[in-house]
Amino acid sequence: MAINWLGIFQALLILVVGLVAARLLSRTVSRAIGKRVGVHQSTLIQRFVFYFLAALIIASSLHQLGFKLGVLLGAAGILSVAIGFASQTSASNLISGLFLLAERPFQIGDTIKVADNTGEVLAIDLLSVKLRTFDNLFVRIPNETMVKSQVTNFSRFPIRRYDLQLGVAYREDLARVRKVLLDIAERNPLCLQEPKPLVIFQGFGNSSVDLQLSAWVRRENFLDLRNSIPDEIKTAFETHGIEIPFPHLSLYTGSETQPFPVRTTQSPPADGHAGDPASSGNDIEGEGGAQR
Amino acid sequence: MSDTSQWFGQFNLEPHHTRTWRVGPLSFWVNRAYHEWRLRVETGGDPYSPSVELDLFEERQADVEDRKVQRFLVSDESRRLDIGLLLPDRPIVSSPASPVSIPGGESVRFYLSYPLWVSLSAGDPGRTLTEFASYRLSDTWFGPNTREGMLCYATRSRCRLNVSDHPYLPYRAITPLVISNRAKDALPLDRVKLPVSSLSLYRSRGPGWLWTQDVTLLRQEGGDMAELQLGRGAPEEADAADLVAGARELSPRNAMVRAFSALF
C-alpha cells in the first residue's frame, strides 16, 4: 500500500498550525475578557477554548489521514471504559475537579487552608490544585482530596476577626480590664470600629480569669493587627498594673511541716548582682495564685 | 501668628534646604537634595491641636540612614513644591458621641468635620510624589452584614448644629449634612456614612475654612436607604470660596444609598 505522504504532511500541518492558532486564540479571548472577570474565570475560559479547539483540530487532522471519525468515536467509547477501570484515581480526580470548578469554593489567588497546608492557590487544574505555601513551597493536592477535605478560604470575605486569648489575675477588677482592652482596640487604627470589638469571658482558669479579645480587621491587615495588639496589651497592662499571671506552684508537705527553708550563700560579686534582694534567703511560698 | 490657613499651596525649595510643617497632629519635612526630594512624615499627635508651624532652613543632608525617610528621584532640578489637600480616599462613617435621633417629618442641618489628606507634587509641570493622611482614622465596616459592605473610616461627631461652635482646625474639612426624615417614625442616628470621595473641597476666601459642598440625605418611609443629593459648589456658610480639590470619584447626583445604619 502506497503511503500518502501528502496527506500525512497536510495532517501534520493542520495539527501544528491549528494548535498554535488555538493557543493564541485562547490567550486572546482570555485577555479580552480578563479585565471584566477574575483570574479564575479567565483561566477557565482560556482552557475551555483551547481544549475545544484542540479537539476539533485533532479530529480534522485524523480525518485528513483518512480515519473515519464515527468508527474512532465508537472505539474511543469502548476504550474509555477500559481506561476508566484502569485509571480510577485519575478519573476520580477529574470528576472531583469538575465539581470544584462548578462549586467554586475558592479561586486562583485566594489563600486557603487544606489539612495542614495553608497557602495561595496557584492553579485549579483538572487533576489537582496547586498551592504556594507561605514558606514558598509548592504543594500539589489531588482534587479528590480537596473534595473530601475541609477547606478554609481566608480570602472569601473582606474582613475577619482576630481572637486573642489572655488571662488576668483573680484579684483584678474585670470591668477595668475590659475597659482597658476595649480602649486598646479603639485606639488601634487597624482594628475596625464596626463590628465592635468584644471582650468575652471564657472561664475561671487554674491560675487566671480567662478572657478573649475579639477584634475585627481588614483581611490584608490581619497579620499587622495580630502583631500589634499583644504588644499594646502588654504595655497597657504594665501601665495600669494589671497582672497577666502564669501558673504558680506551691510546695507543701502536709500540715505537720514548716515551709522549706532556703538559704543562699553570698557568692563572689563577679557579675555585680550579688546584692540583689530578690535572691536573699526566703522560704518558698506561693505568689498569690491558687495553691495546688 | 501668620495666616495659618496658608500651610498648603505652592512653595519653592532651594537645593539643600528643608521645609518643615507641623500642622495639628501631623508633622512632616521635605528636603530638596541633588535630583531628589526627601520626605519624612509623622502622624499621631493630638488630633484636635490647632497649632500650625512652618519652618525653613538650609541643610545639606548626607546619605539617608533613617528608614522612615522616603526618597523621590527626579530628573529635573525644579524647586517647585506643591502641597495639596485632598478629601479621604474612603467614605467616612460618623457616629454621634451621644445618642441622637431625628423625629419623623423633621429636617436638620448639622456639621461633620474630619481630617484631610495631604498630597505632594514637585517639578514643573508637577508630578505627584505621594499622598498621606494628616491623621490616621480607624478603619470601620459599613454594611448589612460582615459579608457585604464596604471599608470606611470611622469618626465620632458631636453633630453640631451651629457652625460657630466648631473650632477652626486648618487640616480638617467641614461638610454640612442635611438629613430630612420623611418617614413617620424617628430616625435613630447611630451612624451615618458620608461619601467624601465623591465630594469636592473648597476654601473660603476670608477666614480660610475648608468646606465641602453640602450633602442631603432624604430618608424615605421604611428601611435605612436614603436618597443622596450633593450640592453644587461651596456651601452657603463658606460665602466666597475657591476650589481646592475636585472629587476623587464621580458619583450620581441623586442616588439611593445605604447611609444610616449597619444592620448587624
Chain A residues with CB-CB distance to B151 below 8 A: 158-159, 218
Rounded to an integer, what distance in angstroms lies between the CA atom of residue B166 and that of residue B158? 10
pLDDT in tens, B89-140: 999 998 888 888 888 888 999 899 999 999 999 988 888 999 999 999 999 9
pLDDT for A2-43, tens place per residue?
A: 677 888 888 888 889 988 998 888 888 888 877 777 676 777
**CA A206 from centre of chain:** 32
Interchain pair B93, A194: CB under 8 A: yes
> Which A residues, 189 through 208, put their C-beta within 8 Å of a C-beta on chain B?
189-195
- Does A185 contact chain B (CB < 8 Å)? no
Kindly report the nearest CA distance between residue A144 and chain B, in angstroms. Answer: 29
Cβ distance A157 to B147 less than 8 Å, yes or no, reads yes
And the C-alpha cell for B223? 428601611
ipTM of this predicted structure? 0.79
pTM above 0.95, yes or no: no
Element (H, E) at A238: helix A222-240
Per-residue pLDDT of chain B (264 residues; tens, 9 = 90+): 445 568 888 888 888 889 899 988 999 999 988 888 999 998 877 888 888 888 887 777 777 777 888 899 988 888 899 999 999 999 999 888 888 888 888 899 989 999 999 999 998 888 899 999 999 999 999 888 888 888 999 998 888 888 888 888 889 999 999 988 888 888 888 888 888 988 999 998 877 889 999 998 888 876 667 788 888 888 888 888 888 888 888 766 556 666 666 444
Residue A205 has pLDDT above 80, yes or no: yes
Backbone angles phi, psi at A188, to 5 degrees: -75, 115
Is residue A44 predicted with pLDDT exceeding 60? yes
Q: Are B14 and B81 within 8 A, CB to CB?
A: no
Helix, strand, coil distribution of chain A in percent, nearest 5? 45, 20, 35
A112 CA: distance to closest CA in chain B (Å)? 17
* Cβ-defined contact of B139 to A186 (cutoff 8 Å): no
Of residues A141, A65, A126, the one with CA closest to residue A95 = A126
Interface with chain A: mutation pick from B89, B146, B190, B263, highest number of A CBs within 10 Å: B146
Q: How far is CA A111 from CA B146, B174, B244, in A?
A: 18, 41, 42
- Can you tell me the mean pLDDT for A179-200? 92
User: Between chain A and chain B, how many beta carbons pairs sit less than 8 Å apart?
Assistant: 43
- Minimum-distance CB partner of A190 among B139, B191, B264: B139
Q: Which residues contact A257 (CB under 8 A, 6 or more apart)?
A: none
Asked if B75 reaches chain A (Cβ–Cβ under 8 Å), the answer is: no
Q: Which of residues 167-226 of B touch A (CB under 8 A)?
A: 191
**Count of C-beta atoms within a 10 Å radius of residue A270:** 7
Contact A190 B142 (CB under 8 A): no
For residue A248, pLDDT over 80 is answered with no
Cα–Cα nearest to A193, from B261, B144, B258, B138: B138
Q: Do B138 and A158 touch (CB under 8 A)?
A: no
User: In sequence order, which residues have a C-beta less than 8 Å from that of residue A248 and are 6 or more positions away?
Assistant: A207, A286, A287, A288, A289, A290
